[in-house]
Amino acid sequence: MSSTLQGITDDFDVIIIGGGPAGSTAAGLLAERGRRVLVLDRERFPRYHIGESLIPGFMLPMEELGLTERMEEKGFERKYGGTVVWGNNEIPWNFAFATGGKIPYAYHTRRADLDTMIMDRARELGATVVEEATVKDTIEEDGRVVGVRYAVRGVEGIVETRGSLIVDASGQARVIGRKYSEVNWHEQLQNVAVWTYFDGCHRLPGDEWSNILIEGIKDGWFWGIPLDKGVFSVGYVTPSATAKASDKSLEDLFASQLANTSKLKGLLKDAHQTSGFRSARDWSYTNERFYGNGWVLVGDAAAFVDPLFSPGVALATMAASSLAKIVDQIIEHPQIEEKALDRYATAYQEFFNGIRIFVEKFYDRSKTKGFYFDLAQEITDPEKKNDAHVDFVQLISGLARNDALFNPDLDDLIADVSAPAAD
C-alpha cells in the first residue's frame, strides 16, 4: 500500500525510524531547515521510557530546538550535580555542574513528558509524525536503502514510503543496525538494571537537594533520582553474571542490596513503593557501522553506554543535532554523502568512546576521587589545560571535547564538490 493512501505524501527527504529523543530532535532540526521529514514510531506518546536524569550536554540541542523555556514551564526538576558514594573515600562526595564552567544545570524528568515535548516540537517545526507505526523492513534498490515498509496499528496492510536518506533512531530495537551491521558488545559493561518508584522520600540536604545520588555497594550500584516533590526513581545495577549466579530474583536482590546502602536507605526510610519493578539488560554496545548506502544510525540505535552518570539522552540528542546539520548539507550536496556520514560517524564514535572508557575505569571502586578526576583529565585533556576536577565535571556533563560531534564542519567537502570544473 502506498502511504499516499494514508493521506501522507510518498516521498520524503528523510525518514526517521523512532520518535524518541534522538529521532524527534533530528526531525525537528531538519524540518526547521525546510526539509520534508517523516517520523514513524511504534508507540503512542506519551509513552513510558527509562532514562530520567539528564546532563548539561542535553541543554545544547534543546536550545537549538527552542525548548529550554518550555522545560522550565513544565516544572521539570533542575539538576545541579550529583552526590556520590563511590571509591575508597570514606565520605560521600559531590560534584556540581557549575564546576565545569559551561552549563550549570540539566533536569530530572519523567521521560513520558520529555519525549512528548520533543516530539510535539518536531511537529510544530513541520515534521510529519505517525505514531503506532511499526517499521517492519527497509526497501532496497540497487544496493541502496530507499525507503521503509511499516504497519499502522489497527490498519490492515503494509505501507511503503520513500526518502533520500533513512535515519535509524529506533533505540535498542536497532531496526536498521540489526540488518546491516554487526554489533560489538562491551564486555566490561554487561550489566542488568532493576528499578521502581517511591513516594514520600527524603531529599538530600542543602545544596545537594536536587542531586542524583549514585551509591556504590559491594556488587553493584544504586541510582536515586528525585523526580518531583517526594518521588524518587530508584534503580539497582549489577553485573549480569552476578545476578545470574544469585539465588534471588532481581526484585529480591534489589530489596536485599538496598539494605546495604548507607545514604539511599536513609532517604527511603519513610517512603512507600508506588509501582512494580521494571528491569533491563543494559549491556553496552557499539554498532560496527554507523552508516551505509542510504542509511545512518543515531542514539541508542547506534551505540549505548551504561547509565552510570546518565549520558544516554544527551548523547542521543547531541548526535541527532549533529546529524541534522550534516543531513541537511547532504540533501543540498548529495555528492558529499559518504564522506559527510563518515565524518559524523568518526566524531560520534570518538566522543562515545571517551565516555565509555571513562565509565569502564570508573567501575574500579578501589580508587579515590582524585584518581577518577585524573582519569577524566587523561581522556579529555592530556595537556592538562584545566584542573582535573574541572575535566571530570566537563566529561560527565557531556561537554568535554564535544565540538567535532556537535559542530560538524563540512566546508571543505562542500568546497570540493562546488569548485568549478577546470577547463
Ligand X SMILES: Cc1cc2nc3c(=O)[nH]c(=O)nc-3n(C[C@H](O)[C@H](O)[C@H](O)COP(=O)(O)OP(=O)(O)OC[C@H]3O[C@@H](n4cnc5c(N)ncnc54)[C@H](O)[C@@H]3O)c2cc1C
Work out whether 282 is an interface residue with ligand X (CB under 6 A).
yes
Q: Which of 13, 30, 36, 52 binds ligand X (CB under 6 A)?
A: 52
Work out whether 313 is an interface residue with ligand X (CB under 6 A).
yes
C-alpha span between 187 and 240 (Å, rounded): 11
Q: Which of 322, 389, 309 is nearest to 350 (CA)?
A: 322
Helix axes 369-380, 337-362, angle to 10 degrees: 160
Number of residues that bind ligand X (CB under 6 A): 37
Instruction: Give me the least distance between CB of 298 and ligand X, in Å please.
Output: 7
Stretch that binds ligand X, among 47-55, 73-81, 347-355, 375-383 (CB under 6 A): 47-55
C-alpha span between 16 and 59 (Å, rounded): 22
Instruction: Give me the least distance between CB of 416 and ligand X, in Å please.
Output: 32
Which residue, 164 or 310, is less far from ligand X as judged by CB?
A: 310
Work out whether 183 is an interface residue with ligand X (CB under 6 A).
no
Q: Which of 193, 212, 267 is nearest to 86 (CA)?
A: 212
Work out whether 18 is an interface residue with ligand X (CB under 6 A).
yes
Binding residues for ligand X restricted to 314-333, rule: CB under 6 A: 314, 316
Binding residues for ligand X restricted to 60-89, rule: CB under 6 A: none
**Residue pair 413/336 in contact by the 8 Å Cβ criterion:** yes
Work out whether 162 is an interface residue with ligand X (CB under 6 A).
no
Instruction: Give me the least distance between CB of 312 and ligand X, in Å please.
Output: 2
Work out whether 220 is an interface residue with ligand X (CB under 6 A).
no
Peptide bond into 239 cis (omega under 30): no
Work out whether 19 is an interface residue with ligand X (CB under 6 A).
yes
Whose cell is 545537594? That residue is 208
Work out whether 128 is an interface residue with ligand X (CB under 6 A).
no
Beta strands, E only, 212-290: 212-217, 220-228, 231-239, 272-273, 278-281, 285-287
Work out whether 300 is an interface residue with ligand X (CB under 6 A).
yes
**Residue pair 348/322 in contact by the 8 Å Cβ criterion:** yes
DSSP 303-365: EE--STT--HHHHHHHHHHHHHHHHHHHHH-GGGHHHHHHHHHHHHHHHHHHHHHHHHHHT-T
Which residue, 304 or 392, is less far from ligand X as judged by CB?
A: 304
Beta bridge partners of 62: none
Work out whether 147 is an interface residue with ligand X (CB under 6 A).
no
Binding stretches for ligand X (CB under 6 A): 17-23, 40-43, 49-54, 134-135, 169-171, 173, 175, 193, 235, 280, 282, 299-301, 307, 310, 312-314, 316
